[in-house]
Each structure stands twice: as C-alpha cells, then as structure tokens.
Amino acid sequence: MTPEEGDAILKDNFAPWVLDLGLSVEEVGERHALLRLPWSGRLAREGGGISGQALMAAADTATVIAISSARGGFVPMTTVQQSTTFQRPVTEADVLVEARVTKLGRTLAFAEITLSAEGGPGPAARASTVYALLG
Ligand SMILES: CC(C)(COP(=O)(O)OP(=O)(O)OC[C@H]1O[C@@H](n2cnc3c(N)ncnc32)[C@H](O)[C@@H]1OP(=O)(O)O)[C@@H](O)C(=O)NCCC(=O)NCCSC(=O)Cc1ccccc1
C-alpha cells in the first residue's frame, strides 16, 4: 500500500469529525503506518495541551491504516479495545502517530501505537488496541 492509498482509505471510511482532525498518512509499511496529526488550537484543552480525546482518535485511525496495509487494503473491521497512557503534554506541535501491528490473526488484530510531538523528547502517549476483522 502507498501513503496515497492510505489517505484514500481515510477519506472513504471515516466519520466527518475524524476527517476534521486533518490526519494524513506519511508512510505505510508491511505492518505499520505513520500518520501526522497537525497542531490546531481547536484540539487543545485548558492549559494549552492537545486533548487526550484527539490523541485517542488519532491512535484508533492510525491502527485502521496499519491493519489495512498489513491486509493489502481496507477490510471491514471494528475497534474492540483501546488502552491509552498519556505521558507528556503536546503544545504547539504536530503529533506523529506510529501504529505497528503486532499480531494479525484471522479474526483479531493487535497493535501498539506511539504518539510523539514532532521534535519532542519522547512519546507523548502510547496506546494498545485490539480489532475484530469482519471481512
Ligand atoms: C463484532 C463484535 C466486535 C464482536 O462480535 P461477537 O463477539 O462475535 O458478538 P455477537 O455475536 O454477540 O455479536 C454482537 C453484535 O455484533 C454484530 N456482529 C457480529 N459479527 C459481525 C460481523 N462479522 N459483521 C458485522 N456485525 C457483526 C452482531 O450482529 C451483533 O449485533 P446484535 O447484538 O445481534 O444486534 C461486536 O462486539 C461489536 O460489534 N462491537 C462493537 C464494535 C464497535 O462499535 N466499535 C467502535 C466502532 S469501530 C471504529 O470507530 C474504528 C473504525 C473506523 C473506520 C473504519 C473502521 C474502523
């Protein structure tokens, strides 16, 4: 899969409010995807840091792209579980969202996601996700 194909999956399969986050696919590999969440003050909470809700949506979205890449294209799937830790605030920076598929089964897929402020000192958040593959 190419980043352009990843962007097309975004456009065709996600809710309008998720598309409003402005996510774009920077890189896709055999079992991973790298997305960019552009900084916007609209995503910030009191104190100026990016909201956890935006980061969780970005992690969920990046996982769909990574699983699609691992499967060679989009297949119907649904999130079953996501667990997220928030480790550093992000202010005034894009967030790079890297999702890696750690197990691709027949009916379930597992992924680990690292979200980092561009140029930042380390992960801003990490997530673990489980997806049911429906097709
Ligand atoms: C399907 C499953 C994950 C597992 O089901 P099981 O453990 O086997 O449970 P059970 O047999 O008890 O069935 C329960 C119900 O499931 C239905 N159903 C079952 N199999 C299929 C099937 N193959 N296909 C379709 N439906 C199927 C079945 O009709 C039944 O409905 P009923 O109760 O009779 O009316 C279920 O727990 C579920 O739907 N959870 C909600 C997940 C969810 O909403 N996540 C958040 C949204 S994802 C997101 O946003 C990310 C994203 C973005 C863009 C693009 C992509 C992703």
The percentage of the chain sitting over the pLDDT mark of 70, rounded to a whole number, equals: 100
The two structure tokens encoding residue 102? 């750690």
Nearest residue by C-alpha to atom 24 in ligand 1:
134
Q: Report residue 107 CA to chain centroid gap.
A: 20
Q: Is 64 in the pocket of ligand 1 (CB under 6 A)?
A: yes
CATH of 3-133, one of 1.10.1380.10, 3.40.50.2000, 3.10.129.10, 1.10.510.10: 3.10.129.10
Mutate to test the pocket of ligand 1, among 10, 14, 63, 78 (most ligand atoms within 8 A of CB): 78
CA of residue 132 to ligand 1 center, whole Å: 8
What ipTM score was computed for the predicted complex, to two decimals? 0.88
Question: Is 0.90 surpassed by the pTM of this model?
Answer: yes
Nearest residue by C-alpha to atom 9 in ligand 1:
132
CA-based Rg of the chain, rounded to a whole angstrom? 14
- Whole-number pLDDT of residue 135: 79
